[in-house]
Amino acid sequence: MNGTGDRRGTQTAVSRDGRAVSPIVGIVLLLALTVALGAVVAVGIGAWSLESSGPTATFELSADGDRSTVEIEHVAGESIDVESLSVTIAVNGRDLSAQPPVPFVGASGFDGAPDGPFNSRADSDWTAGERAGVSIADTNTPTLGADDSVTATLVVDGKRIAELETTAT
C-alpha cells in the first residue's frame, strides 16, 4: 500500500513512506504547545510582579543616655503616615522589652507622652523637618545609658524603610 489513495480514489492518512500523516494531530499539538508556553509566560509574569518598596525618606537618630530619650528626625523625602508605622528600638543589640506602639500616649515602658508625630494627638503625617521622640522608662529593659549603641528600625506596612544607628550621648 502506498498510502496515497485506495481503490475508490479517496485519500488515506498514510504517506508514501508508511508514516501516518494527520494535519489535525499537528494542529492540536501546536495548540497544546502554544497554550503551555502561554501558561509558563503568565506564571512567570505573575511571579515577577513589581512590589512597592514603601515610602522613601531619610531620617536621623539621636539618643540621650542621661535622660533615656530617643529622637528620630525626618530629614527629607516622602511623608510617613505614623498610623501604618512600627518602630523597633534596640540598645546594645537587644530589643527593648516594650516597644513604642506609635502613635501613643502613655504606653507601658515609656515615660509620659511621646514627642511630635509619635503622639496620638498630633497629626499622623510625619513630614520632613519634624522630630519624633520617646522617653524610655526605667521599667523597660535594657536601660539606656551614655555610650550605649542604639538602633531604631522603621517599618511601614511590613516594609522596612530605615534602620538607624547611633551612640547615646
Averaged over successive runs of 10 residues, the pLDDT of the chain (169 residues) comes to: 50 62 83 93 74 82 93 93 92 93 89 90 91 92 92 91 93
- pLDDT of the residue at 3: 45
- Only one residue has cell 501546536, namely 30
In the prediction, which pLDDT does 49 show? 63
In this predicted structure, what is the pLDDT of residue 36? 94
Give the pLDDT confidence score for residue 8 in this predicted structure: 55
Whole-model pTM above 0.85?
A: no
Strand ranges inside 18-122, DSSP E: 57-64, 69-77, 80-81, 85-91, 94-95
